[in-house]
Amino acid sequence: MKIAVIGGKDYILGFKALGVSVFPVETGEEAAQALTSIKNGNYAAIFICEDFAEALKDILEEIREKPLPAVAFIPDPRGSRGLALERLRQNTRRAIGTDI
Amino acid sequence: MHLSVNPNRMELLRLRKRLFLARRGHKLLKDKQEELMKRFLSLSEESKKLREGVEEKLRAAYNNFLSARGVMPGEMLEEALLCPGREATVITEVVPVMNLRLPHFELVEEGDIFCYGLVGTSGNLDIALSLFSEALPSMMRLAEVEQWIELMAEEIERTRRRVNALEYILIPNLEETIRSIGMKLSERERGNLTRLMKVKEMVSGR
């Protein structure tokens, strides 16, 4: 299976040299299109830059119910916005039943 | 709440069996929940650490990549990255953990990442690419761990509901019903006994 990265063209092109499928996008809509087209493809993991996370919320919800592909956020050059930690916190809340 | 069953010995025996089974199921589920919880917490620790590492590496990689981009013309950069010499594939396995099917990734990298000429490419590009390739294995592990956390949280939630349903609804209901059947039966027996005594008195009194 393959790996995909969705993010801004300016900074994720570097992943291309690693043999990862790169989907450079500029707007949220383009990102949504890219994600929709690969979500049922032969991808084990899809990495999404945090700038586009907001636009992809609905599709992500759908994908996360399945065991594959695994979706993870990676920071964009402006730094992390803590979306992954927020997700972790949500899951912890679900597991424990209370917020810690 | 009292279950609606007939108060007879047959039902009493049946309910006792059910109570025994419910208690055993409750214990098993509780153990499962505890074990899941333990693993969940250690995974969430691991994911936090991994994420810090990945973010650190990516930040450095982005910085170098952006400065390479700054000094190289756009087309040249794209050209340099046009045909990657490396092929990254993932072997996916499913690991069964506590009745959950969790995906496990193994990253297989083949070929060289530097597949462009030395002329006209910035040194920062080399640094950026090697940083990206350093980050990739931990990124894969991170994706895996985060996926596990997601799936495990769901399973824990489900197990907790089951444990609670057994603990606070089914088991108390069964206990109450058993008690009330027992009381009804003993009441009936007392009634019978007094009736017998009365009959005996009447018979011997004549």
Mention every residue, 6+ apart, whose C-beta is less than 8 A from residue A25: A6, A7, A8, A9, A31, A33, A34, A52
Greater pLDDT, B199 or A77: B199
pLDDT band at B79 (very low <50, low <70, confident <90, very high): confident
Closest listed residue to residue A11, CA positions, set B84, B153, B129, B99: B129
Q: What is the mean pLDDT of residues A60-83?
A: 78
Q: What's chain A's length in residues? A: 100
Question: Best-predicted range by mean pLDDT among A31-35, A94-98, B7-11?
Answer: B7-11
Q: Strand pairing partners for B124?
A: none
Which has the closest alpha carbon to B144: B90, B86, B89? B90
> Which residues face A45 on adjacent strands?
A3, A70
What is the Cα–Cα distance from B5 to B185, expressed in whole angstroms?
13
pLDDT band at B71 (very low <50, low <70, confident <90, very high): confident
- Domains contained in chain B, number: 1
Residue B121 covered by a domain: yes
Q: Which residues of B touch A76 (CB under 8 A)?
A: 62
Q: Would you call A17 and B102 a contact, using CB atoms and an 8 Å cutoff?
A: no
Between B122 and B37, the more confident residue is B37
Task: Label the pairing between strands B100-110 and B87-97.
Answer: antiparallel
What local confidence, expressed as pLDDT, does residue A98 receive? 65
pLDDT tens digits, one per residue of B141-166: 888 888 888 888 888 999 999 999 99
Asked if residue B135 is part of any domain, the answer here is yes
Helices B9-71, B123-165: inter-axial angle, 10-degree rounding: 170
Q: What is the mean pLDDT of residues A86-99?
A: 79
Q: Which candidate in B37, B55, B76, B90 is best for mutational testing of the A interface (most A CBs within 10 A)?
A: B90
- CB < 8 Å to B136, chain A: 3, 15, 18, 20
Q: Is residue B2 part of a domain?
A: no
Residue of A3, A11, A13 with shortest CB distance to B90: A3
ipTM: 0.85
Mean pLDDT of B64-93: 76
Q: Is residue B205 part of a domain?
A: no
- Does A31 have pLDDT greater than 80? no
Biggest CA-to-CA distance, chain B? 129
Give pLDDT, residue B117.
Answer: 67
pLDDT digit string (tens) for B17-33? 999 999 999 999 999 99
Backbone angles phi, psi at B51, to 5 degrees: -65, -40
Give yes or no for residue B62 having a pLDDT over 70.
Answer: yes
Compute the mean pLDDT over every residue in chain A, rounded to the nearest whole number: 79
How far lies B155's CA from each of A35, A43, A71, A92, B160, in Å? 26, 24, 19, 12, 8
For residue A31, the domain's CATH number is 3.40.50.10580
Q: Point out the least confidently predicted range of B11-15, B32-36, B99-103, B150-154.
A: B99-103
pLDDT of B30? 94
Handedness of CA A76, A80, A83, A88 (dihedral sign): positive
Please tell me the distance in Å from B57's CA to the nearest CA on chain A: 10
Contact predicate A49/A76, CB 8 Å: yes
E-assigned strand segments in B54-155: 87-97, 100-110
The enclosing domain of B126 has a CATH number of 1.10.287.3240
Q: Is the peptide bond before A69 cis (omega within 30 degrees of 0)?
A: yes
How does DSSP assign B10-31, residue by residue? HHHHHHHHHHHHHHHHHHHHHH
- Give the other-Cβ count within 10 Å of B136's Cβ: 23
In chain A, % of residues over pLDDT 70: 95
Torsion angle defined by CA atoms of residues A91, A70, B144 and A14, in that order, rounded to the nearest 10 degrees: -120
Residue A16 lies in domain? 2-96
CB pairs under 8 A between A and B: 139
Contact A79 B59 (CB under 8 A): yes
Residues of A in contact with B158 (CB under 8 A): none
**Lowest-confidence pick of A4-8, A81-85, B73-77:** B73-77
Give the model's confidence band at B172: pLDDT under 50 very low, under 70 low, under 90 confident, else very high: very high
| Better-predicted residue by pLDDT, A83 or B118 | A83
How many residues are present in chain B? Answer: 206
Indicate the number of domains in chain A: 1
Domain that holds residue B88: 9-198
Asked if B110's CB is within 8 angstroms of A95's CB, the reply is no
Q: pLDDT value at position B185?
A: 94
**pLDDT exceeds cutoff 60 at A100:** no
Q: Which of A44, A95, A97 sits opposite B90 (nearest CB)?
A: A44
